[in-house]
Structures are given as C-alpha cells and as structure tokens.
Amino acid sequence: MKIAVFAGDGIGPEVTHEAIRVLHALGLNDLELVEGDVGAAAYRKHGHPLPPATLAIAHDCDAILFGSVGDFDCDHLERHLRPEQAILGLRKELGLFANLRPAKVYKGLEDMSTLRPEIARVIDMVIVRESNGDVYFGEKGIRTLPDGRREGYDIMSYAEDEVRRIAHVGFRTAMGRKKQLCSVDKANVLETSQLWRDVVIEVSAEYPEVELSHLYVDNAAMQMVKSPGQFDVIVTGNMFGDILSDQASMCVGSIGLLASATMAEGTKGLFEPIHGSAPDIAGKGIANPMAQILSAAMLLRHSFGKEAEAARIEAAVAKALADGICGGDLGGSHGTAEIGDAVLARL
C-alpha cells in the first residue's frame, strides 16, 4: 500500500498528522508513506505549487492522502502558480474525475446541524461531483475589449464522454445505496447542462433499477436546506458540485467533518477533506482533524478495498463525537491532537 502524503498549507499538515497516526494505529503491515510538497509550501520551496517531483510521487503511488492548499500571500501570483493549482493539477494529470462527497448526519448528532434536528436527522447523501472538466478547466482569461473595458471569461463545456463516465459513477453509487439518483444541472439556461441532461438520460437505460430525477441547481440548493433527506445520490458537474458540497457540509454540521474521494478509472484515488487550509486558525493546534481522518478511511475503502478498517475509523470518529469530543467548528473546545487521541482511543 504505497500512499503519497501531500499535507500542503495552513491546517493541512496538522490534520494530516492525526490521520497518519490513525493509519499507523491500524497495524497495516504493508503501509508505505511517501511525502511530497504541494501548494504554497511547494511554491516557496520549488517555485511551483505542483513540482515535477510531487507529480512523480503521485503517479507512482496507489493513493494520495491530501491535506489542503491555499494561502492569501499567493493571491497576487499568476493563476498557474497559485496553490489551488496543485489540487486541480493532480485531478487533471491523474484523470481523477469522480469526486465522491458523502454527507451524513451521525446518529444523535443532529443538533450539530444548522438545520432543525428533525430535518437534519435523515441526511444521508453522496454528492458525485465531476472533477476533470466544466468551467474549471475551460479556456479562461482577462482580456481588453476594443473600447478599453476589461472582460473576464471562463469557458464552460462538457464533452459527452466526460458526462457519460461520471453518470456511470453516479448510477453505480446509487445501485450500492437506495437506488435514487438526482442529476443536478442548469438545463433551463445552459447548453452545457442540456447535453449533460441528455447524456444522463441515455446512460439511465443501463440502470433500470435506479430512479432518476433531475433538478436545476438553484432548486437543488433550496431543496437541500428544505428537505435534505430526499437525496440519496446527487450527480453533478464540477462547479455545481463544489458549491452544493459545501452547503451539504453545513447541513451535517461542519465542513470539518466531510471527507472526499476523487477517483480515476480503477482504484487510484486522492483523498482529502472538503475544507480548505483555514489560514486563520493554522498553527494553533485547534483545527478539527476529523474530516482528514475520515478521508483516510475513504482511502482504505476505495483504493484498497479495506472496508473493515474504514468502518473501524468511521465508528471511532462517530463515537468520539457522541462522547462530546469536538473542535471549535462544532462549538467545542478540543484541540487537534486531543481529537486525534480521542479517535485513537476509540479505535
């Protein structure tokens, strides 16, 4: 099990440290960890957020445990040198197109949600977000119009094969759950979305058991706070998935709790919390490492088929939460290491 560890910026190293302690505690005997630099940290050392050496490690490993990238000090850099390019570059270079973002309310912890407990209680969804295309990767720039005004542009597009392969992931994910798939788009306005919808409907013929529905993204955002329990699996594009997954995290209670897997065809994947580098609390030892610990669980499950170990980690996190262990993001006062200790004790 060769795992690349790219801790990155801000709270990334702190929370990754705890996830690694948890991985070691499982006593997996064939575990090999290879560290690499990403983000602003890599830019400072090597002049690039995703240096060739890091990319080589990523290619060579079976899975990547990724922390977070982002640093306000880099806001002035040209876009291709900004920390975020590390994660975007890895997704693209490794063909990591299927970003799975589960959002589930832990039993007894519905009070953590900003929604009313009776609404939050039933949340158990997976957002399947496409992560190789869309407006994220289209031609972009800032140009000057003939009359001298500046104009920013980012081209949104999806090719049908890109939609088809993520649709399959959506349907397969639904087949392993409640067999309900909701495709989110903006087909009432965008041609990109019309093609998305057409292709998802084509693919649905191969999954007769899955109940397919469609929502426009604005309506989906509203439904997610109105009755989030209606969602089993959501499949959507890169941009809408980015936004809806942050929203889903607050429906659960905290962005500090949501892990994600970004898979290529096959078992290679990148695993990261959906939160960012949180520069405001970095280095203080107060970040909640649970999302990163849960990312390690997803890594074991999706890249190595180690379901029992993954479930063990998830149960330990759930138990720690149930015992009142939580960080400032959830109104608690436990520090990063304390939360790590608490999870370890419950493994």
Contacts with ligand IPM, residue ranges (CB under 6 A): 84, 87-88, 242, 274, 276
Complex with ligand IPM: residue 154 or 202, whichever CB lies closer: 154
User: What is the distance between the terminal CA atoms of the chain, rounded to a whole angstrom?
Assistant: 20
Do residues 69 and 38 lie in contact, with contact meaning Cβ atoms separated by under 8 Å?
yes
Phi, psi of 66 (to 5 degrees): -115, 140
Determine the interface stretch with Mg ion among 174-182, 195-203, 222-230, 242-250 (rule: CB under 5 A): 242-250
- What beta strand segments (E) does the chain contain? 2-8, 32-35, 63-68, 98-104, 124-130, 140-144, 150-154, 180-185, 211-216, 233-236, 259-263, 269-273
Complex with ligand IPM: residue 126 or 318, whichever CB lies closer: 126
CA distances from 205 to 97, 167, 173, 192, 341 (A): 22, 11, 16, 21, 48
Complex with ligand IPM: residue 87 or 233, whichever CB lies closer: 87
**At closest approach, how far in Å is the CB of 50 from ligand IPM?**
12
Complex with Mg ion: residue 242 or 338, whichever CB lies closer: 242
Q: Using CB under 5 A, which of 134, 242, 309, 338 touches Mg ion?
A: 242
Phi, psi of 137 (to 5 degrees): -115, 5
- Residue closest to 321 by CA, chosen among 332, 308, 305, 337: 332
Q: Which residues contact 343 (CB under 8 A, 6 or more apart)?
A: 18, 22, 290, 293, 313, 316, 317, 320
Q: Which does 88 bind (CB under 5 to 8 A by kind): ligand IPM, Mg ion, none?
A: ligand IPM
Please give the residues from 211 up to 240 whose contact with Mg ion meets the rule CB under 5 A. Answer: none
**At closest approach, how far in Å is the CB of 8 from ligand IPM?**
10
Q: Which residue lies nearest Mg ion, judged by its C-beta?
A: 242
**At closest approach, how far in Å is the CB of 149 from Mg ion?**
30
Q: Which of 218, 226, 284, 323 is catalytic?
A: 218
DSSP run (H or E) holding 159: none
**At closest approach, how far in Å is the CB of 276 from Mg ion?**
7
Q: Which does 84 bind (CB under 5 to 8 A by kind): Mg ion, ligand IPM, none?
A: ligand IPM
Query: 3-state class of 97 per DSSP?
Result: coil
Do residues 99 and 244 lie in contact, with contact meaning Cβ atoms separated by under 8 Å?
no
Q: Which of 92, 104, 178, 246 is catalytic?
A: 246
Do residues 179 and 232 lie in contact, with contact meaning Cβ atoms separated by under 8 Å?
yes
Residue 186 is a catalytic residue? yes
Residue 60 is a catalytic residue? no
**At closest approach, how far in Å is the CB of 66 from ligand IPM?**
9
Complex with Mg ion: residue 242 or 272, whichever CB lies closer: 242
Structure tokens at 24: 């070691």
Q: Which does 100 bind (CB under 5 to 8 A by kind): Mg ion, ligand IPM, none?
A: none
Q: Which does 71 bind (CB under 5 to 8 A by kind): Mg ion, ligand IPM, none?
A: none
Q: Which of 43, 71, 136, 158 is catalytic?
A: 136
Residue 246 is a catalytic residue? yes
Active-site residues: which are they? 136, 186, 218, 242, 246
Residues that bind Mg ion (CB under 5 A): 242
